Amino acid sequence: MDKIKGLVSALFTPLKEDGSINYDVLPQMIDDAIAADITGFYVLGSTGEGISLSTDERKALAEASVNLVNGRVPVMIQIGHNSLAESKILAKHAQKIGASAISANAPSYFKVSNVDVLIDCMAEISRDVHLPFYYYHIPPLTGAYINMVEFLQKAPEKIPTLAGIKFSEMDPGKFLQCKNFAGGKYDILWGCDEQLIAALAVGAEGAVGSTYGFMPKLYQEVMRNFTSGKMTEARSLMQLAYEVVEALNRHAPIHPCMKAVMRMLGYEVGNHRLPQPALSPEQERLLKADLERLGFFEWSIKPLVRA
């Protein structure tokens, strides 16, 4: 698989009122995102609530996503789990269904304490699977504050399928070190939406994010303006994206707020599973008011999808 360019959407897992997966919504979500020039999907990560789903649910959603995308863009399946045995099952299933790549975060209940343990964990779950492997580096959630340059130095010996890192630590300098490691051999994908312009400044070409699912064109315009040297325009658009993310963080945890935005746009994605709380009607009202002040519903994914 070639290095990923552009914006990869972290796919939301739509849920029904009873908490089961709502597969009926997936075709619309996937088709709309591809029509809006999303260049790939990251399935069952933090946004996709992979950690809150059973192994059987994760396998079913992964297969449905791969089938619906039908080869139009790459599909990366997140297989991380506190049980390495379950991760191995998910990895082999991803290969069986024709996923483009697999990715995994570190186990998080028993914290990974050093780079060698992390490599042993990732080697264990990717063994006998021939798909490209991306480590999902998200230390604020896993507690695995591991030096990623050292990981890239040591990991290939035990993880021959290592393709890159989904880099979800807000440190463009460390990202740059990883991107330039071994002459730029590895695909380092930026994973912090609201800091995209900082990543572009240090050479990011591909990024994975939650908010790309409902405002991809805004970020694409940031990238286009940045690439063409129109920095004033790029900064202005990036400020607008940042203010949307600020609004998402203002009234409740960000993940339930993002699902609320998807519902406002007509996607019946439901609420998050516990322990992520549902928004109260008042929280949802305040969030919608903030977004209206930013003109969000005039330029979000719905009106920006190409006819």
Type of residue found at 182: A
Residue 58 domain flag: yes
What is the model's pLDDT at position 1?
79
Residue 283 domain flag: no
Residue 66 domain flag: yes
CATH no. for residue 171?
3.20.20.70
For residue range 134-172, list pLDDT tens digits in order.
999 999 999 999 999 999 999 999 999 999 999 999 999
Instruction: Name the residue range of residue 117's domain.
Output: 6-228
For residue range 221-230, list pLDDT tens digits in order.
999 999 999 9
Residue 206 domain flag: yes
Nearest 5°: the CA angle 207, 63, 269 is 65
Residue 259 domain flag: no
Q: Report whether pLDDT(282) > 50.
A: yes
Which pTM does this prediction carry?
0.96
What is the model's pLDDT at position 302?
65
Residue 99 domain flag: yes
Mean predicted confidence (pLDDT) in 199-211: 97
Mean predicted confidence (pLDDT) in 241-258: 95
Q: Report whether pLDDT(10) > 50.
A: yes
Assess whether the previous peptide bond of 281 is cis (omega < 30° from 0): no
Residue 292 domain flag: no
What is the model's pLDDT at position 306?
42
pLDDT-based confidence at 307, cuts 50/70/90? very low
List active site positions: 136, 166
Residue 237 domain flag: no
C-alpha distances out from residue 12 to 89, 178, 269, Å: 22, 28, 8
As for how many domains the chain has, the answer is 1
Provide the 8-state DSSP code for 184. Answer: T
